[in-house]
């Protein structure tokens, strides 16, 4: 039988810098999910955790309690299962080519994904720009598709970590999102409940990321890996650069189009490089000996993509939505692009309608920014630098303003910087 704790005692203990017991954590997460602990009490506790932190043991237990608040999925596919989670970036469409690539290599990929909020995009918003494509699948549909196609990218099922769904919404309105133990337990509770045997984390670092400095990204990556270890998951974190957008396209339909280019053997080199690097890490953790670069070049990943889209009622051959209005921003001078700031481009795309300010807002499928010159590329004065796409021309001025300090153009090329900055391996 669960010991009943007073919410006030649990809040007070954390407020005063104490370490919560396993029983206190289990009780408060369960009672909050059932509605016995009120939102205002959980808000106070979240703020106390934000200010006082949680130990690794508390974070692991908090994660377990959130997993236990709902269902834990299982995938009897006969193939090893592996997933990837990105902490979110600008132009981060990597799931789109990566998931079918890893499936084409022989692993099964059940990837429950999210929608965008703020300046980073969401995988489901991007895929929903494909006519007919359906994000909401039942557990039985996910299981069938995983067996037949080997890959599913869809919305989380309603029974998955309901404690996190409730708590994340509360944190969003109480300034308690940016807290490593709460972020790490939130991400890992969903990923562990999702039931894949292995997980690769793409922890973004730089201006367009949640974590802007290497030390912050390292702290989050280590917390995520520690939770994975504690729960017996094979896990690796790659810290990857998010100071500049990935690829040229930032938005929804434009990112799908760029992902299809990658799957057909072309596409921007940084998107190809990161896709192959993450695939190699996922296949290694899953114990599948395959060469992802060769499988990508063979066209098999593209065929798997088509099957994945069609299985979710999407038409892989349909024309993607186009914007009502396109505005071109010219280069102010000639030279080489020395810096292209990810956050500014993300904000511009968001203002154009590609992202949402509140969870319930719609997004424009055709909106976004195309970066026509990336760092290291030469431009002439007056040549097109950005293409701004939107259905709402009134939004252009705000996007242009967001891009005012986004680019440095210099006389010579900058030193190239690595895309994969660091790797943190789990215990298994």
Site residues for ligand URA per CB under 6 A: 168, 177, 182-183, 186-187
Residue 393: DSSP 8-state: G
Query: b or e along 4-37 (b: 16 or more beta carbons within 10 Å of the residue's beta carbon)?
Result: ebebeebbebbbeeeebeeebbbbbbbbbbeeeb
Residue of minimal CB distance from ligand URA?
186
Euclidean distance between CA atoms 23 and 3, whole angstroms: 7
The DSSP-derived string for 114-173 is: ---BTTB--HHHHHTTSTT------HHHHHHHHHHTSEEEEPPPTTS-HHHHHHHHHHHT
Q: Is the sign of the CA dihedral 164, 169, 174, 180 positive or negative? A: positive
> How far does the chain reach from its first CA to its final CA, in angstroms?
34
Please list the active-site residues.
Answer: 85, 164, 171, 186, 190
Beta bridge partner(s), residue 198: 82, 234
76 conformational bin, left if phi > 0, alpha if psi -120 to 50, beta if neither: beta
Q: Which two tokens stand for residue 199?
A: 């997980």
Asked whether the beta carbons of 302 and 104 are under 8 A apart, the reply is: no
213 by Cβ neighbours in 10 Å (0-12 / 13-18 / 19+) ranks as: exposed
**Minimum distance of ligand URA from residue 308's CB (angstroms):** 23
Q: How far is the CB of 310 from ligand URA (least distance, A)?
A: 29
Nearer to ligand URA, 27 or 210 (CB): 210
Nearer to ligand URA, 177 or 413 (CB): 177
CB of 179 to ligand URA, least distance (A): 8
Residue 186, CA distances (Å) to 44, 80, 171, 227, 260 in order: 18, 24, 11, 11, 31
Please state the closest distance from residue 9 (CB atom) to ligand URA, in A.
Answer: 25
| CB-CB neighbours of 55 under 10 Å | 11
Nearest residue to 116 via CA among 93, 96, 82, 142: 93
The nearer residue to ligand URA, 14 or 85, going by C-beta atoms, is: 85
Q: Is the dihedral of CA 205, 210, 215, 219 positive or negative?
A: negative
Where are the extended beta strands (E) located within 170-292? 198-205, 234-241, 249-251
Give me 135's structure tokens.
Answer: 């994000």
């Amino acid at each position: 039988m669960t010991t009943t704790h007073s919410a006030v005692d649990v809040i007070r203990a954390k407020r005063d810098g104490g370490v919560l017991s396993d029983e206190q954590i289990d009780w408060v997460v369960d009672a909050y999910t059932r509605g016995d602990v009120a939102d205002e009490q959980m808000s106070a506790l979240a703020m106390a955790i934000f200010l006082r932190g949680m130990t690794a043991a508390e974070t692991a237990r908090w994660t377990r309690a959130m997993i236990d608040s709902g269902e834990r999925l299982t995938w009897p596919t006969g193939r090893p299962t592996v997933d990837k989670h990105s902490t979110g970036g600008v132009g981060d469409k990597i799931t789109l080519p990566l998931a079918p690539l890893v499936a084409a290599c022989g692993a099964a990929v059940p990837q429950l994904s999210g929608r965008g909020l703020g300046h980073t995009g969401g995988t489901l918003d991007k895929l929903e720009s494909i006519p007919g494509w359906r994000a909401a699948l039942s557990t039985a549909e996910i299981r069938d598709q995983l067996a037949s196609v080997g890959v599913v990218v869809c919305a989380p099922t309603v029974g998955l970590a309901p404690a996190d769904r409730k708590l994340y919404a509360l944190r969003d309105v109480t300034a308690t999102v940016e807290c490593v133990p709460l972020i790490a337990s939130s991400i890992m509770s969903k990923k562990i409940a999702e039931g894949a045997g292995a997980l690769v984390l793409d922890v973004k670092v730089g201006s367009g990321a949640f974590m802007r400095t290497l030390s912050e990204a390292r702290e989050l990556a280590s917390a995520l890996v520690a939770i994975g270890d504690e729960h017996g998951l094979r896990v690796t974190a790659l810290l990857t650069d998010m100071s500049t957008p990935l690829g040229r396209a930032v938005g929804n339909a434009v990112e799908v189009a760029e992902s299809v280019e990658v799957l057909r053997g072309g596409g921007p080199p940084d998107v190809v490089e990161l896709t192959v690097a993450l695939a190699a890490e996922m296949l290694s953790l899953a114990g599948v000996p395959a060469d992802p670069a060769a499988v990508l070049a063979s066209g098999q990943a593209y065929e798997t993509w088509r099957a994945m889209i069609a299985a979710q009622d999407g038409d892989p051959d349909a024309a993607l939505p186009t914007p009502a209005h396109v505005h071109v921003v010219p280069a102010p001078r000639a030279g080489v692009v020395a810096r292209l700031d990810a956050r500014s481009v993300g904000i511009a795309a968001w203002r154009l309608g590609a992202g949402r300010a509140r969870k319930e807002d719609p997004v424009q499928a055709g909106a976004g920014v195309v970066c026509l010159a990336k760092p290291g590329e030469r431009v002439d004065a007056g040549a097109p630098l950005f293409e701004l796409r939107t259905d709402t021309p009134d939004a252009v001025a705000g996007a242009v303003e967001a891009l005012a300090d986004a680019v440095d153009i210099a006389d010579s090329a900058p030193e190239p910087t690595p895309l994969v900055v660091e790797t943190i391996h789990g215990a298994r």
